[in-house]
Amino acid sequence: MGVSGVGKSTIGQLLSEELSIPFFDGDDFHTAENVEKMSGGTPLTDGDRIEWLNSLNQLAIREIEKKGCIIACSALKEDYRSILTNGIENESNWIFLSGTYDQVDTRLQQRQNHFMSSELLQSQFDTLEEPKEAIKIDIGQTPNDIIEMIKNELVKKSEFGLVGLGVMGKSLSRNLAQKGFQLSIFNRHVDKEEVDVASNFKASHKELETSLAFDDLKSFVDSIQKPRKIMLMVNAGKTTDSVIEDLLPHLSPGDTLIDGGNSHFEDTKARFDDLRSRNIEFIGTGVSGGEEGALKGPSIMPGGDPVVYETIRPYLEAIAARDANGLPCCTYVGPEGSGHFVKMVHNGIEYAEMQLLSEVVGILKSHGSSYDEIAQLLESWEESKSYLQEITISILRKREGEGWLLDKILDKAGNKGTGNWTAVATAKLGVPSTMVTSALYARYLSFYKDDRVRAQALYPSERDDEKSISHADLFKAFQFARMINHSQGFRLISEASRVNSWDLNLSEIARIWTNGCIIRSDLMVELIEVLRKGDNILFDETIVGKLGDLASSANIIVSHCISVSIPIPCLSEAINFFNGIRTAGSSANLIQAQRDYFGAHTYQRVDDPLGQFHHTKW
Ligand code: 6PG
C-alpha cells in the first residue's frame, strides 16, 4: 500500500518472484463503472470503492487458502484496509511503502506516459491515514534492499515464542526447534544470576542455530510473526502474572499466550477472562513428562477457546509424545481452566501412585528383602507396568560407593503444591478422592522427621518379623489400590466437568496420558476403552471382574501390615474406600440423627418417597 507512484507494482512483482506466490495489481479489479468514471476524469467516492475492495478481499481469502499472494493497492484509508482484510486480519500483513511528496513527485515525473497533477498527488497525501500495524518501508532505497528488508520483517520472523528457560522451558524449546519451528526464546536478565541465559543456551545446542535469543522483552515480542503465539514456561502464581503484565504492552490484539506451567486452574480462568477483555487470547495447558518428556515428547493438556487452540495445535501436537496408534498425546481438553485442572488431577494420581510404590517397597524392606530383590520382584510385575514402576526399579538399583543411594536420601518428601490443590479441589467438590489426600498427608507426615524419631523411641512398634507376606497377594493389593486411585481421579475430573459444564472426554484424557506423562502405564491404556463406555471405572464389567478378586488380597495385605505396625496409608485407604463404596446401607444415618439432635439440621427418611426433610424433637 501507499500513494500512487511509491512503487507498489514494482516491489510487489519482485516480492512475488522472491516468495513464489502470485501478484495482483488491485487496479485490475475495478468494476466497469469505476473504470468508466476514472477514465472520464471523475474521482471515485468511497461508495464506488466498496464493491471493488470487497472483490479484492475475496481474492485474498481465496489465495490464502492456497499459498497466499501479494496485492498492490493504495488502501489509503483505515476503512479501506478493514474491508480488504475482513475475516483474514490475522493472516494478512500490510507493507506500507512510504515516501515524501517530493520523492514521489520526482518519481512520477520520470515515468513515461504517466501524468499526475500536483493537486491530485497532494490529495492522495491528504487522504492517507498511516497504518499503525504495518511494515513501514522507506522508498528511498534500491528495490533489492527493499525486498530484503521486507523479507527480513515478514519471512524471517519467528513463528513461535517461548518465555522462561528453566528446565522445562529449555527442553520444550529444543523439542520445538527439532521439529523445525522457527523460534524466538527469551529469558530475563538478573544481574549476576541470570545473564545471557537465552543466548548461551542457543549457542550450546545445534538445533537452536536459527532460533533468535533475547533477554529484552520488547525485541523478543517484535521478533515474532503476528498474530503471535508465545508460550510461558515460568513458575506458577505471581511470576506468571508478572510475566504476563510485562508482556502486555508489547502484544497486539489477537496474539495468544500459552501458559505451560503448573498453574492453578482458577488462576487460569481469571487470566483467560482478563486477557479476553484486552483482546489477547489465552490457553492454559498442562504439560507432563519432566525434563526428558518435555524434550522427547510430553503429554499436553490444553484448555481454552477451541478456535484459538486450533491456531496453536500444530506446534503442540508436533512436540507431544505419540500414543500406541501414533496419535499425539495432546488434545483439546475443554474450556478455560480445564486443561490445568486435568493436569492438577494428573499430579494427584501421581502422588498416590508414588506413595503406593513407596509403601510396597517399605513392606518388602520390612520383611527383609534387599533393594536388588525388590527391584527384581517389581520387574516381574509385568501386568502393572508403568513409568513410575520402571523408575522405581532403577532407583532401587542405584548404588553409591559400597551402598545404595536410596539409603543416603533423607526421608522427607517435598512437594510443589499440586497434590495439595487436588486435595482441596476434591474436598470443595465433595468428591471422595481419598487416596490423593492420604498420599499428600503421608508426605506431610514424612516431613515431621524429628517427631518421628522421638515417637519411635516413645512408642516402639511391635513388629513381628517372623510373619511373612505372599508376594502374589502384595502384587494384587498393589493392582487393586492403583485401580481405586485411578477411579477416584477420573471421578474427580468427571464431577468437575459436570459442575463447570466443561464437557470433558475422559477416554481421550486417558489416551493422552498413555505416553509422555509421569502416570503413563498399561492400566491407563486399558482405561481408554473402559472410560469410553462410562465415567465410573468401578462399574465397568471388566474392572468389576478384576477388583472383586484383587480386593481379598488387599484385605490380607492391609490387615497384615496393620498387625505388624507398618504404615500403609494409601493401601489401607484403597480398601477402606472400597469397603465404603460397596456398603449399600451405611452408618451415616447416625450422623444425620446426631446433626438433627444437636442442631436441628433435619434428615431424610427411607420411608418417605418424596425425600422431604424431617426434624425430631429428640
Ligand atoms: C509432571 C510432573 C511435574 C512435576 C510436579 C511434581 O507431570 O511432569 O507432575 O509437574 O514433577 O511438579 O510435583 P511435586 O513437587 O509436588 O511432587
Annotated domain spans of the chain: 8-154, 160-336, 354-581, 585-618
Q: Is the pLDDT of residue 213 over 70?
A: yes
- At 344, list the grid cell: 492438577
> What is the CATH T-level fold of the domain 585-618, as seen in this structure?
1.20.5
43-47, 213-217, 278-282, 322-326: segment of lowest average pLDDT: 43-47
pLDDT at 464: 63
The per-residue pLDDT of the chain, averaged, comes to 94
- Residue range 559-566: mean pLDDT, rounded: 93
- Residue range 579-595: mean pLDDT, rounded: 96
- Residue range 382-399: mean pLDDT, rounded: 97
pLDDT at 390: 98
Encode pLDDT of 60-89 as tens digits.
999 988 889 999 999 999 999 999 999 988
pLDDT at 115: 66
Q: Among 340, 344, 350, which residue has the most ligand 1 atoms within 8 Å of its CB, making it the best to mutate?
A: 350
Q: Could you write out the DSSP letters of every residue in 196-226?
A: SHHHHHHHT-GGGTTSEEES-HHHHHHTBPS
24-38, 229-243, 407-421, 537-551: segment of lowest average pLDDT: 24-38
Among protein residues, the one whose CA lies closest to atom 4 of ligand 1: 290
- At 410, list the grid cell: 533423607
Cβ atoms of residues 139 and 9 within 8 Å: no
Cβ atoms of residues 125 and 105 within 8 Å: no
Q: Is the pLDDT of residue 466 over 90?
A: no
Q: What are phi and psi of 451, to 5 degrees?
A: -60, -40
pLDDT at 577: 98
pLDDT at 252: 93
pLDDT at 66: 86
Q: Among 168, 233, 262, which residue has the most ligand 1 atoms within 8 Å of its CB, making it the best to mutate?
A: 262
pLDDT at 463: 67
For 34-48, give one letter per residue: b (16+ CB within 10 A) or e.
beebeeeeeeeeeeb
Domains 8-154 and 160-336 share a fold: yes
- Residue range 602-614: mean pLDDT, rounded: 97
Vertex 220: Cα angle to 165 and 232 (nearest 5): 40
Among protein residues, the one whose CA lies closest to atom 11 of ligand 1: 290
| pLDDT level of residue 155 (50, 70, 90 thresholds) | low
- Residue range 525-529: mean pLDDT, rounded: 98
30: CB partners within 8 A, 6+ apart? 38, 52
Tell me how far the alpha carbon of residue 231 lies from the centroid of ligand 1, in angstroms.
19
Distance in angstroms (rounded) separating the CA atoms of residues 165 and 234: 8
| pLDDT level of residue 112 (50, 70, 90 thresholds) | low
Q: Is the pLDDT of residue 604 over 80?
A: yes
pLDDT at 521: 98
Instruction: Please state the atom number of ligand 1 nearest to the C-alpha of residue 415.
Output: 16
pLDDT at 116: 73
Determine which one of 281, 336, 350, 573 is catalytic.
350
Q: Could you write out the DSSP letters of every residue in 504-540?
A: --HHHHHHHTSSSSTT-BHHHHHHHHHHHH-S-GGGS
Q: Is the pLDDT of residue 298 over 70?
A: yes
Cβ atoms of residues 294 and 175 within 8 Å: yes
Residue 336 annotated to the active site: no
- Residue range 336-358: mean pLDDT, rounded: 98
Rg, C-alpha atoms of the chain: 33
Cβ atoms of residues 226 and 255 within 8 Å: yes
Instruction: Please state the atom number of ligand 1 nearest to the C-alpha of residue 517.
Output: 7
Q: What are phi and psi of 593, to 5 degrees?
A: -65, -45
- Residues with C-beta less than 6 Å from any ligand 1 atom: 262, 288-290, 346-347, 350, 414-416, 418-419, 517-518
Q: Which CATH architecture has domain 8-154?
A: 3-Layer(aba) Sandwich (3.40)
Determine which one of 336, 343, 476, 526 is catalytic.
343
Residue 350 annotated to the active site: yes
The answer as to CATH 3.30.360.10 being correct for domain 160-336 is no
Q: Is the pLDDT of residue 152 over 80?
A: no
pLDDT at 109: 83
Q: Among 418, 420, 422, 517, which residue has the most ligand 1 atoms within 8 Å of its CB, making it the best to mutate?
A: 418
Q: Is the pLDDT of residue 465 over 80?
A: no
Q: Which helix (H) or strand (E) holds 24?
A: strand 23-25
Q: Which CATH number fits domain 354-581: 1.10.10.10, 1.10.1040.10, 3.30.565.10, 3.40.50.9100?
A: 1.10.1040.10
Q: DSSP strand E in 247-400: where?
A: 256-259, 281-288, 299-303, 399-400
162 beta partners:
185, 231
Q: How many percent of the chain have pLDDT more than 70?
A: 98
Q: How many percent of the chain have pLDDT more than 90?
A: 88
Q: Is the pLDDT of residue 38 over 90?
A: no
pLDDT at 148: 85
pLDDT at 89: 82
Among protein residues, the one whose CA lies closest to atom 13 of ligand 1: 416
